[in-house]
């Protein structure tokens, strides 16, 4: 297990990395696919490596600092909460399940997409658009960008749904899966390679190690290594011992 000082240092390093990644995001091909961002990668790795609650704090602060000191749009507390919740969910799957890395990642992606991307982030972006004049920031003009214009056509004009939340939700559902898949592939490649290093460095708790190794069935489960003593022999401590029984 890592000491408290080591954990604080790890959090500081991850916060600095998160701020850099946040500032390095940039607009992709015109306005069609939104901003190229590694926020999913950062939040997933923060949760997996640091654990759920440390990951939560790191992801929140890493979004808060650029939002206050290097704003490129209106700051939304809800979006910071969304990123933090993403790391929290990743940390819970990483810490409290004994699944293989690929299954943890799939569960993380599905859960965070529903809870964070399509709920918390959408609420945060809708509120940001509604409370400031259109055109003051890039985020304020989202409704003039693809796929938001497509969402307005599909459910706004086609179905008569004028509620901004549902239009933003559909736009996110169209736009974000591509970036989530790309972020997830990179996350898998990095995290799976880091497993031996994390174990040696004490980043994986004893409980997590138990989940990963201690409960898995063995080829020797149920094998009796010593049976009944031969006639005339005294029983020994090993008689009847069964390997692999919990």
Residue-wise pLDDT for 145-190, tens only, equals: 556 666 666 766 667 777 778 878 888 888 888 889 999 999 999 9
pLDDT in tens, 191-214: 999 988 888 877 775 545 555 444
SS3 58: helix
Pick the range with the lowest mean pLDDT from 79-88, 92-101, 122-131, 148-157.
148-157
d(CA 88, CA 52): 4
**Strand pairing report for 35-36 and 223-224:** unpaired
Residue partners of 133: CB distance under 8 A and separation at least 6 = 140
For domain 4-205, the question of CATH label 1.10.8.420 is answered with: no
pTM of the model: 0.75
How far is C-alpha 226 from the geometric centre of its chain's CA atoms? 48
Q: Tell me what percent of the residues of the chain surpass a pLDDT of 70.
A: 65
Other C-beta atoms lying within 10 Å of the C-beta of residue 4: 7
List helix spans (H) across 152-216: 164-201, 206-209
The pLDDT assigned to 169 comes to 84
**Which residues is 35 bridged to in the sheet?**
27
């Amino acid at each position: 297990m890592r000491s408290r000082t080591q954990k604080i240092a790890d959090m500081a390093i991850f916060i600095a990395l998160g701020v850099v990644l946040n500032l390095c995001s940039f607009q992709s091909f015109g306005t069609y696919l939104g901003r190229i961002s590694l926020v999913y990668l950062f939040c997933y790795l923060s949760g997996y490596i640091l654990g759920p609650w440390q990951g939560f704090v790191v992801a929140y602060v890493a979004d808060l600092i650029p939002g206050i000191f290097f704003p490129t749009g209106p700051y939304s507390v809800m979006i910071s909460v969304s990123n933090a919740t993403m790391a929290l969910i990743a940390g819970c799957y990483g810490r409290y399940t004994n699944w293989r890395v690929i299954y943890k990642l799939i569960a993380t992606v599905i859960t965070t997409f529903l809870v964070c991307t399509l709920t918390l982030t959408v609420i945060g972006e809708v509120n940001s658009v509604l409370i400031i004049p259109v055109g003051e920031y890039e985020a304020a003009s989202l409704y003039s960008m693809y796929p938001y214009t497509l969402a307005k056509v599909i459910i706004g004009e086609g179905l008569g749904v004028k509620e901004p939340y549902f239009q933003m939700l559909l736009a996110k559902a169209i736009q974000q899966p591509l970036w989530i898949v790309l972020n997830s592939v990179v996350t898998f490649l990095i995290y799976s390679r880091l497993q031996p290093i994390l174990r040696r460095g004490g980043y994986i708790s004893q409980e997590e190690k138990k989940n990963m190794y201690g409960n898995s069935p063995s080829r020797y489960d149920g094998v009796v290594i010593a049976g009944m003593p031969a006639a005339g022999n005294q029983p020994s401590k090993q008689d009847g011992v069964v390997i692999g029984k919990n």
